[in-house]
Amino acid sequence: MPIKQHAFSDFALTSDQWDRITSASNIIRAGGTVAFPTETVYGLGADVTNPTAIDKIYRIKQRPLNHPLIVHIGALDDLDYWVHTIPESARELAHCFWPGPLTLILQRSWRVPDCVTGGQNTVGIRMPSHPIALALLHALGPQKALAAPSANRFGRLSPTTAAHVYQQLGSEVDLILDGGSCAIGLESTIVSFHEQSPKILRPGGISAEEIETALNIPIALTHTDNNPTIRTSGSLPSHYAPVTPLKLAPTEHIWPQALAAAERQLRTLVITWSDIADNKPYNPLIAHHAMPHDPFTYGQQLYAKLHQFDQTTFDLLLIETPPDHTDWLAVSDRLRRAGHRFSDNN
Ligand code: TXA
Ligand code: MG
């Protein structure tokens, strides 16, 4: 089916990109997998309605089969096709934030197969805003959707460039669409409408304040770490992790901890957000990287930097604990999970 290019003229995709999108849609229709850019992170997509293709995603990701996938749609109207009942407040959020970095957990319609939801009766659904993601969804046509987790191996760092996808998944994916660096760089905010009142299951690109303002009610952030009935893999205590051990340290402890690590002959990279680097002690085993002061730019760069530092020869990434402020929630959440498997109490 030819792509309606005029619908996307605003996005100014090149003819080369259109060719790749046409190839990608043919691959998806034939039951293959395509990695594609979104504004949050790259996704690994397959046809929602094709269980064999969905099975490929789980195998490539090495992800447990009972961890559900997000359904990506290309138009707001498609929400009613994939979802059984939509509370008014959920519809309100979709109108406010789609296309954009918000996933809604809602009661699924019969059209969403068990393999996508991990057997749960809810479905995670979102409309991404990246022009290539939207163009691919539109190329697939109406009543088509992409089931797509982040395009990384289970538990590892999410990809924010096509090169990151290639490094982790390489030739196992049928095609990788390159859309440059992801503008947000952290995964979407997940809001569940599974229970009476909406709850944030994963902080992300849309803040709790923005959701509260849109709904005009306070909203809870659910800590699902110890709740085995909620299978949100991004809420597992250990997730989004680099290979190099990563530890968080409060501002006042960061240099003493770096010196203690250096004494144990560990090549240590100290990563800060504040100006404490001004007090950096001299030690040949300690290097320093300053991240941006503001949480949004920090979040945008976080995975890309961790991917980069994982390629170097550091023995330890020592990260300054972010400020205890709601704007930093998504960054703090990812850092905590990235460091969990290396923490002393683990
Ligand atoms: O920004 C994003 O959300 C990216 C891009 C590609 O859209 N996707 C992403 O997918 O982060 P994934 O699979 O890596 O993380 C989605 C999270 C998982 O932790 C999954 O368990 C949870 O959403 N999830 C999906 N459906 C769910 C459901 N029905 N109930 C509870 N959690 C769900
Ligand atoms: Mg993921």
Q: Is the pLDDT of residue 254 over 50?
A: yes
Q: What is the 3-state secondary structure (H, E, C) of 137-175?
A: HHHHCCCCCEECCECCCCCECCCCCHHHHHHHHHHHCCE
Q: Are 148 and 18 in contact (CB under 8 A)?
A: no
180 and 53 both lie in a single domain: yes
Residue nearest to atom 29 of ligand 1 (CA): 123
201 and 300 both lie in a single domain: no
Nearest of 245, 240, 234, 11 to residue 134 by alpha carbon: 11
What is the pLDDT, as a whole number, of residue 178? 97
pLDDT top residue among 101 and 229: 101
Q: Is the pLDDT of residue 2 over 50?
A: no
Please tell me the total count of domains within the chain: 2
Cα of 295 to ligand 1 centre, how many Å?
A: 22
205 and 270 both lie in a single domain: no
Residue nearest to atom 12 of ligand 1 (CA): 149
What is the pLDDT, as a whole number, of residue 243? 86
**Residue 74 located in a structural domain:** yes
Across residues 220-248, what is the average pLDDT? 68
Q: What tokens does 112 get? A: 């969403």
Q: What CATH code is carried by the domain that includes residue 262?
A: 3.40.50.11030
The rounded distance, in Å, linking the Cα atoms of 242 and 306 is 7
Q: Is the pLDDT of residue 196 over 60?
A: yes
**Residue 216 located in a structural domain:** yes
pLDDT tens-digit series, residues 296-316? 999 999 999 999 999 988 999
Across residues 163-174, what is the average pLDDT? 95
Neighbours of ion ligand 2 (CB under 5 A): 150
165 and 282 both lie in a single domain: no
**Residue 238 located in a structural domain:** no
Q: Is the pLDDT of residue 344 over 70?
A: no
Q: What CATH code is carried by the domain that includes residue 59?
A: 3.90.870.10
Q: Give bridge partners of residue 320 from the DSSP assignment.
A: 249
Q: What is the mean pLDDT of the chain?
A: 91
Q: Is the CB of 184 under 6 A from ligand 1?
A: no
Cα of 70 to ligand 1 centre, how many Å?
A: 5
The rounded distance, in Å, linking the Cα atoms of 265 and 285 is 7
278 and 190 both lie in a single domain: no
pLDDT tens-digit series, residues 82-95? 999 999 999 999 99
Q: Is the CB of 124 under 6 A from ligand 1?
A: yes
Cα of 293 to ligand 1 centre, how many Å?
A: 28
Other beta carbons less than 10 A from residue 103's beta carbon: 26
250 and 195 both lie in a single domain: no
Q: Is the pLDDT of residue 282 over 50?
A: yes
Torsion 103-108-111-114 (CA) sign: positive
32 and 72 both lie in a single domain: yes
What is the pLDDT, as a whole number, of residue 240? 77
Domain boundary, last residue among 179, 206, 221: 221
Q: Is the pLDDT of residue 263 over 90?
A: yes
pLDDT top residue among 181 and 313: 181
Domain boundary, last residue among 170, 204, 221: 221
Domain boundary, last residue among 163, 187, 221: 221
What is the pLDDT, as a whole number, of residue 285? 97
Q: What tokens does 74 get? A: 């290309």
**Residue 142 located in a structural domain:** yes
**Residue 192 located in a structural domain:** yes
Across residues 118-131, what is the average pLDDT? 96
250 and 288 both lie in a single domain: yes
**Residue 227 located in a structural domain:** no
Single-letter code of the amino acid located at 217: I
Other beta carbons less than 10 A from residue 15's beta carbon: 8
What is the pLDDT, as a whole number, of residue 4? 34
**Residue 226 located in a structural domain:** no
What is the pLDDT, as a whole number, of residue 236? 64
188 and 41 both lie in a single domain: yes
Q: What range does the domain containing 213 cover?
A: 8-221
Nearest of 159, 161, 158 to residue 180 by alpha carbon: 161
Burial class (CB in 10 A: 0-12, 13-18, 19+), 155: middle
Single-letter code of the amino acid located at 33: T
Q: Are 327 and 208 in contact (CB under 8 A)?
A: no
17 and 136 both lie in a single domain: yes
186 and 258 both lie in a single domain: no
**Residue 1 located in a structural domain:** no
Identify the band that residue 8 occupies on the pLDDT scale cut at 50, 70 and 90: very low
85 and 202 both lie in a single domain: yes
